[in-house]
Amino acid sequence: MDSSPKAQTRSGRRLLPAGRPPFWPVFGDGVRSEAITARVGSALGIAFGLCFVTGLLSHYQYAPWGWLPIPAAPAWGYRLSQGTHVITGLVSIPLLITKLWSVFPKLFEWPPARSVVHALERLSIAVLVSASLVEVGIGLLNILTWYPWRFSFIDVHHWLAWVVIGSLLLHIAVKLPIIRRGLADPVAGRITAPEAGSEPDPETVPAGGITRRGVLIAGGAGAGIVALTTAGQALTPLHPVALLGVRDPQRAPLGVPINRTAAQAGVRQLAVAPTYRLRVTGPTPFELTLDELEALPGVQRSLPIACVEGWSAGARWIGVELMDLVTRAGGNADSRVVLTSLEPDGPYRRSAISGSQLHAALLATHLNGQRLTVDHGYPLRLIAPDRAGVFNTKWLTRIEVGR
Amino acid sequence: MRTARWLLGTVGVLLLGYGAWRIFQYSQATQPKQLGIWLLAALVLHDGILSWLVVGVGWLLARFVPGRARAYLQGGLITAGLVTLVAAPLIYRHGKSQPGQALLERNYLANLLILLAAIAAVTGLAYLVRVRQEARVAKLRPPADQVSTGRSPAGSA
């Protein structure tokens, strides 16, 4: 791993001067050390690993295999996994910045590449760094529903995650001896040279400054504050300190935030039209008017609603069991049911449900003791356990009972 | 360990290749050209601007703030900087949502200022505790001319 002149002399002809050019930046190492990099890097690696796994779980909600429907239990499964995804993703931001700070001088090692293999290794680090920065950056903007780009967030966030994890595993494989050395190096080690700019001058720059322990405490505090002040959108006990909480379920109408309003979906008139009918298709199709629908026997169920953007809220729902209508239309417990919204278009106007989620699903008319508002999906919406929020289709108008 | 490293590295290259292949396969959705610009811009913003700002602040602190106080100032600035980085887009997007979404409705600027004040207070308190501790330790130490080793004690922090 050490830079030796061997590789240069072997190549015969030198592309770059052996010594660094005068304009090339030189850093005193200061407090930067393998001890810090290995520790912050380990924390970041764990956060990225958790983020990747929970991200795949969420992706499965969007594209499940037909033979393996998403289970209905535990009802809070998606609430936990996606809450974890967003919190670890947010915490990754301070960890990533601290980690990159600790290795910044390595960007300017001379010569920039000692061999083809070394050049490829450095290139893979560039991929890891830029993919990680973009991945956590667009993740943050997504929970703010801010999309200053043309590409599909879902596709890029998903495929770039594989690039991040792949280049991370490669990076760990290459650096494993250094990681072990760094973890064995005690945090209490004293620093000698000061943190400084391009030309550290021990004569004029006083020694001292932050220690390794100090850097770890300060970086850890940054990550901890981000976690504490954002987690309240999913973890109710942390709601009082959610100073940087993006969503605020307790301020939302009926206690549940709304991702897509009736106006955004273009259903403000359609949802309250007197001509509203719920059409149920299948072997024995039928239609229900609003009055008939509301006269059906209702059940009450407590189910959380959890969004891909990381917020979630527990709620009480009253509604008709979806299975009742499915059976009446000639379907059974093995049916695959497709629900369609009044929404004229949009990627989530239809959703499919089957397996144990179908058995537990409600067609909700009431939320937390009150009739659904138009923004919450009036006159009728789906709610099922362990199901990503966006697939709890609102403003239902058609139910297709398939085989 | 050697085998494990090769295995890990190979799996890494495969996953990396899989992601890259999918990005190009679904180019309609992923817009590789624009994504490439974002990836490059991230490197430029971080390695070309943000990191140099940090280096510059570090250099100024090293130049003008004495060692012991600088340690605490650096620590406070690291924490404050990291929190500000996450809070900045929230402040910028505050209020840009539909009513009822319960989205971005807090006063993030005021909340960030509260957090920064708390960080400053904790850092300042930690510094004062350290100063008092060292003053107490210095009092317990024998005067320099009575130290048996003959070397002067490292009194300056």
Please, which pLDDT band fits residue A11 given cuts at 50, 70 and 90? very low
Q: Do A173 and B9 touch (CB under 8 A)?
A: yes
State the best of B39, B70, B72, B109 to mutate against chain A, taking most chain A CBs within 10 Å. B39
Average pLDDT over residues B60-69: 92
**A63-72, A296-305, B48-57: least confidently modelled range:** A63-72
**A138-152, A218-232, A237-251, A362-376: least confidently modelled range:** A237-251
Please, which pLDDT band fits residue A3 given cuts at 50, 70 and 90? very low
Please tell me the predicted confidence (pLDDT) of residue A251.
Answer: 86
Tell me the two tokens of residue A62. 């969007």
Average pLDDT over residues B94-102: 80
> B146 in helix, strand or coil?
helix
Q: Which residues of B touch A259 (CB under 8 A)?
A: 101
Please tell me the predicted confidence (pLDDT) of residue A27.
Answer: 81
Please tell me the predicted confidence (pLDDT) of residue B67.
Answer: 86
Q: Do A222 and B79 touch (CB under 8 A)?
A: yes
Beta carbons within 8 Å of A134's beta carbon, 6+ residues apart: A160, B35, B38, B39, B42
Query: Is the pLDDT confidence value at B85 over 50?
Result: yes
Please, which pLDDT band fits residue A66 given cuts at 50, 70 and 90? confident
Average pLDDT over residues B39-52: 97
Q: Which residues of B touch A374 (CB under 8 A)?
A: none
Please, which pLDDT band fits residue A43 given cuts at 50, 70 and 90? very high
Average pLDDT over residues B96-119: 90
Q: Tell me the residues of chain B between 128 and 147 that have a Cβ less than 8 Å away from chain A.
A: none
Q: Does A173 touch chain B (CB under 8 A)?
A: yes
Query: Is the pLDDT confidence value at A206 over 50?
Result: no
Average pLDDT over residues A200-207: 44
Please tell me the predicted confidence (pLDDT) of residue B144.
Answer: 67
Query: Is the pLDDT confidence value at A399 over 60?
Result: yes
Q: Do A210 and B67 touch (CB under 8 A)?
A: no
Compare CB distances from A166 to B14, B51, B74 and report the shortest one's residue: B14
State the best of B77, B90, B123 to mutate against chain A, taking most chain A CBs within 10 Å. B90
Please, which pLDDT band fits residue B31 given cuts at 50, 70 and 90? very high
Please tell me the predicted confidence (pLDDT) of residue A192.
Answer: 47
C-alpha distance from A130 to closest chain B C-alpha (Å): 5
Please tell me the predicted confidence (pLDDT) of residue B121.
Answer: 98
C-alpha distance from B143 to closest chain A C-alpha (Å): 24
Query: Is the pLDDT confidence value at A397 over 90?
Result: yes
Please tell me the predicted confidence (pLDDT) of residue A180.
Answer: 97
C-alpha distance from A204 to closest chain B C-alpha (Å): 8
Tell me the two tokens of residue A305. 């609603």
Average pLDDT over residues A29-46: 93
| Residue whose pair of structure tokens reads 């959705």 in the numeric block | B29
Compare CB distances from A155 to B26, B40, B76 and report the shortest one's residue: B26
Please tell me the predicted confidence (pLDDT) of residue B148.
Answer: 57
**A201-210, A289-298, A387-396: least confidently modelled range:** A201-210
Mean pLDDT across chain A: 90
Query: Is the pLDDT confidence value at A17 over 70?
Result: yes
Q: Does A308 touch chain B (CB under 8 A)?
A: no
Please tell me the predicted confidence (pLDDT) of residue B49.
Answer: 97
Domains defined for chain A, CATH in brackets: 9-241 (no CATH), 255-401 (3.90.420.10)
pTM here is: 0.89
Phi, psi of A315 (to 5 degrees): -155, 155
Please tell me the predicted confidence (pLDDT) of residue A357.
Answer: 95
- The percentage of residues in chain A with a pLDDT greater than 90, rounded to a whole number, is 79
| Residue whose pair of structure tokens reads 């207070």 in the numeric block | B121
Compare CB distances from A176 to B5, B100, B102 and report the shortest one's residue: B5
Query: Is the pLDDT confidence value at A7 over 90?
Result: no
Cβ pair B90, A144 in contact under 8 A? yes
Q: Do B9 and A257 touch (CB under 8 A)?
A: no
Average pLDDT over residues A367-395: 96
Q: Do A124 and B38 touch (CB under 8 A)?
A: no
Cβ pair A82, A54 in contact under 8 A? yes
Average pLDDT over residues A163-189: 95
Q: Which residues of A touch B45 (CB under 8 A)?
A: 133
Q: Does B1 touch chain A (CB under 8 A)?
A: yes
Q: Does B52 touch chain A (CB under 8 A)?
A: no
Q: Which residues of B touch A252 (CB under 8 A)?
A: 100-102
Q: Which tens digits make up the pLDDT trace of A236-277?
A: 899 999 999 999 888 889 999 998 999 999 999 999 999 999
